[in-house]
Amino acid sequence: MCDVCCDNNLPYDGIRSLAYYEGVIRECVHALKYKNNQSLGDTFSEVLVELIRRENWQINFVVPVPLSDERYHERGYNQASLLAKPLAARLSLTFNPYALKRIRHTASQVGLSAHERHQNVIGAFEAETDLVRGKSLLIVDDVMTTGATMTACAQAIKKAGAKSAYGVVLARHGP
């Protein structure tokens, strides 16, 4: 983890990203997220699997950051699931999109300040206690800007009794 993460006592036990959110990676994320290029999830999972294996995290199953029902119906798919499902298969782990759910719709994080992003997702997620208690989970998302969404997901998972919450994102905003 970076110095910022280490200094802030964050709820996840480890987090990694493949690249900075710029250039070709940014274009690919936009194609995955907004242009229905769903095959990119499988393509990028091939590279993410090596990133996770190097960490040697002991993970029980993989969960995508969930979309609200409203956002899912707008887009027709969850881009985090498109990364998480093939990643789980390549790691020989269970993909479980039901362990974590978004319990309220939130405004898009795009254009919000760091403080507004964190406020926006407070209480937005809930984990299924029966599924996560005592387990170590890998949370998968496409982009991390301030870490607000990943933090809220990890908090929900830990509140439900998870042993560990790890995170992986395709891209993160630079330092």
Question: Do the beta carbons of residue 64 and residue 140 sit within 8 Å?
Answer: yes
3-172, what's its fold? Answer: Rossmann fold (3.40.50)
Strands (E), 33-156: 61-64, 94-95, 100-102, 125-127, 136-144
- What pLDDT is recorded for position 4? 44
Candidates 172, 163, 171, 147; CA nearest to 57 is: 163
Is residue 135 a contact partner of residue 63, using CB atoms and an 8 Å limit?
no
pLDDT at 128 over 70: yes
Average pLDDT over every residue of 80-91? 96
CA angle 124, 130, 134 (to 5 degrees): 95
- Which residues, other chains included, contact 86 with Cβ-Cβ below 8 Å and sequence gap of 6+? 41, 42, 45, 46
- 155 close to 11: Cβ distance less than 8 angstroms: yes
Asked whether the predicted pLDDT for residue 170 surpasses 70, the reply is yes
pLDDT at 174 over 50: yes
Residue 1 has pLDDT above 70, yes or no: no
Question: Which residue is it, tokens 């609200």?
Answer: 68
Percentage of the residues of the chain whose pLDDT score is greater than 90: 69
40-68 pLDDT tens trace: 999 999 999 999 999 999 999 999 999 98
Mean predicted lDDT score pLDDT of the chain: 89
Q: Would you list the domain boundaries of the chain?
A: 3-172
pTM for this prediction:
0.90
Contact (Cβ atoms closer than 8 angstroms) between residue 153 and residue 90: no
- Is 11:156 a contact under the CB 8 Å cutoff? no
pLDDT at residue number 115:
83
Which pLDDT band, with edges at 50, 70 and 90, does 8 fall under?
Answer: low
